[in-house]
């Protein structure tokens, strides 16, 4: 994975830097007298090429104008205009004009260069979205890092790259980019909700009870603020942030609030299985098996349609696996886990699914065969760890 210095490094070289380097090499190759002459010539050119010098030369030229006029000799007057006024007054003005035109040309070239970089960054953003949709997270991460190197002030780049860092558990780097996005736009609900998710993960990881409590509280407040600004806001995976808030409530065992959050997510993304399967799980844990069964059946009906559209969506395969398990189709549940494991390159999604399975196992009536699914997921986690160490 690229480190942070590689991310912030510019993707292209400044042409003016190359020119200055070449010029410096030429000067250094000269003798001491040659270097002195070159520097003196540059100093004189800069001094003469100013409007103040033009004003001074004009005054000097005008001193001899009365004498030329009094001579009443056309040749002397023409000679004064050509040899005195034009050479003294117009030369600095011409140099100033050339400098202005050169500066304008440089500005246009710089503007064109920045435009090309922005277009390139935009195309990388679009490519990154396709890679995220295909759940090719590592490739998406590299793509967004390249986009960031080209245009680190782009709001969307900071958000997407920050979110991917969080998903890959590079939480501090992700938080830095999300805060940068919020600095650029204080009301940017996707970035604020993603930052809330990062705080929740920090709370999950800490062992200090006071820090854990504070992080969870901060996370909840940021989720609620983002959702109040945009109730339909989605994460980069196309899921409602209501569902991510539901995950926080589920983690805190605030089941009633979790159910309400997932129901709100279901209204935002009615074609997604994620809020539906989580509602099924919550009802199952609460002992409402009939309500849970209805939601699991809905999840089992929605998930195949989603997989027809994107067979690489391992999150949806996890949803389908859980539904098939509770509905008594153990072999189908195991098949979905095996298919999902072929596309998962990070342990985060597997650990999340494992946690949900362990909660189901701890329910008053655990689903038959759940230990077999837990073993499959643990084996998949081990394979990902072993692959990362090679």
pLDDT, one tens digit per residue, over 237-288 is 999 999 999 999 999 999 999 999 999 999 999 999 999 999 999 999 999 9
Q: Which residue has the higher pLDDT, 389 or 12?
A: 389
Sign of the four-CA dihedral 164, 176, 196, 377:
positive
pLDDT at 378: 95
pLDDT at 12: 40
Q: Using a pLDDT cut of 90, give the percent of the chain over it.
A: 54
pLDDT above 80 (res 153): yes
Q: Which among 24-38, 47-61, 336-350 has the top mean pLDDT?
A: 336-350
Q: Using a pLDDT cut of 70, give the percent of the chain over it.
A: 82
Q: Which domains does the chain have, with CATH numbers?
A: 36-129 (no CATH), 287-390 (1.25.40)
Among residues 301, 249, 246, 245, which one has the least CA distance to residue 270?
A: 301
Q: Are 194 and 166 contacting, i.e. CB atoms less than 8 angstroms apart? A: yes
Structure tokens at 346: 């990070």
pLDDT, mean of residues 169-180:
94
- CA pair distance 57, 53, nearest whole angstrom: 6
Q: How sure is the predictor about 5, in pLDDT bands with cuts at 50, 70 and 90?
A: very low
pLDDT at 212: 95
pLDDT above 90 (res 189): yes
pLDDT above 70 (res 16): no
Lowest-pLDDT range, 14-18, 210-214, 279-283? 14-18
Q: How sure is the predictor about 110, in pLDDT bands with cuts at 50, 70 and 90?
A: low
Q: How sure is the predictor about 19, in pLDDT bands with cuts at 50, 70 and 90?
A: very low
Q: What average pLDDT does the chain have? A: 84
pLDDT above 70 (res 9): no
Q: Which residue has the higher pLDDT, 81 or 332?
A: 332
pTM for this entry: 0.69
- CA pair distance 132, 345, nearest whole angstrom: 13
Count the Cβ atoms, other than its own, within 10 Å of residue 143.
24
Q: Which residue has the higher pLDDT, 201 or 38?
A: 201
pLDDT at 175: 95
Q: Are 349 and 319 contacting, i.e. CB atoms less than 8 angstroms apart? A: no
Q: What are phi and psi of 211, to 5 degrees?
A: -65, -40
Whose tokens are 């710089």? That residue is 110
């Amino acid at each position: 994975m690229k480190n942070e210095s590689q991310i912030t490094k510019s993707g292209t070289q400044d042409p003016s830097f190359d020119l200055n380097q070449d010029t410096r090499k030429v000067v250094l190759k000269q003798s001491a007298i040659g270097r002195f002459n070159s520097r003196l010539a540059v100093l004189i050119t800069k001094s003469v090429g100013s409007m103040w010098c033009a004003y001074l030369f004009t005054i000097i030229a005008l001193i001899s104008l009365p004498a030329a006029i009094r001579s009443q000799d056309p040749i002397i007057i023409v000679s004064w205009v050509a040899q005195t006024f034009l050479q003294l007054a117009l030369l600095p003005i011409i140099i100033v004009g050339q400098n202005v035109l050169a500066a304008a040309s440089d500005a246009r070239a710089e503007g064109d260069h920045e435009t090309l970089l922005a277009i390139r960054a935009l195309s990388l953003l679009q490519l990154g979205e396709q890679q995220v949709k295909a759940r090719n997270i590592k490739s998406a991460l590299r793509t967004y890092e390249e986009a960031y190197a080209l245009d680190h002030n782009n709001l969307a780049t900071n958000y997407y790259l920050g979110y991917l860092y969080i998903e890959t558990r590079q939480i501090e780097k992700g938080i830095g980019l999300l805060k940068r996005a919020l600095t650029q736009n204080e009301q940017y609900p996707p970035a604020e909700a993603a930052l809330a998710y990062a705080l929740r993960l920090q709370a999950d990881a800490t062992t200090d009870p006071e820090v854990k409590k504070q992080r969870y509280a901060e996370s909840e407040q940021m989720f609620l603020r983002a959702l109040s600004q945009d109730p339909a806001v989605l994460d980069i995976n196309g899921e409602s942030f209501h569902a991510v808030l539901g995950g926080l409530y589920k983690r805190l065992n605030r089941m009633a609030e979790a159910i309400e959050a997932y129901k709100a997510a279901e209204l935002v993304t009615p074609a997604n299985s994620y809020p539906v399967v989580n509602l099924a799980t919550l009802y199952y844990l609460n002992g409402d098996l009939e309500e849970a069964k209805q939601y699991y059946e809905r999840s089992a009906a929605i998930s195949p349609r989603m997989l027809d559209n994107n067979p690489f969506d391992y999150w949806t395969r996890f949803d389908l696996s859980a539904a098939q398990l509770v509905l008594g189709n153990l072999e189908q549940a195991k098949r979905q886990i095996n298919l999902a494991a072929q596309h998962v390159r990070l342990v985060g999604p597997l650990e999340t699914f494992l946690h949900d399975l362990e909660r189901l196992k701890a329910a008053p009536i655990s689903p038959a065969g759940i230990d077999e699914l837990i073993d499959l997921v643990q084996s998949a986690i081990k394979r990902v760890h072993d692959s990362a160490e090679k």
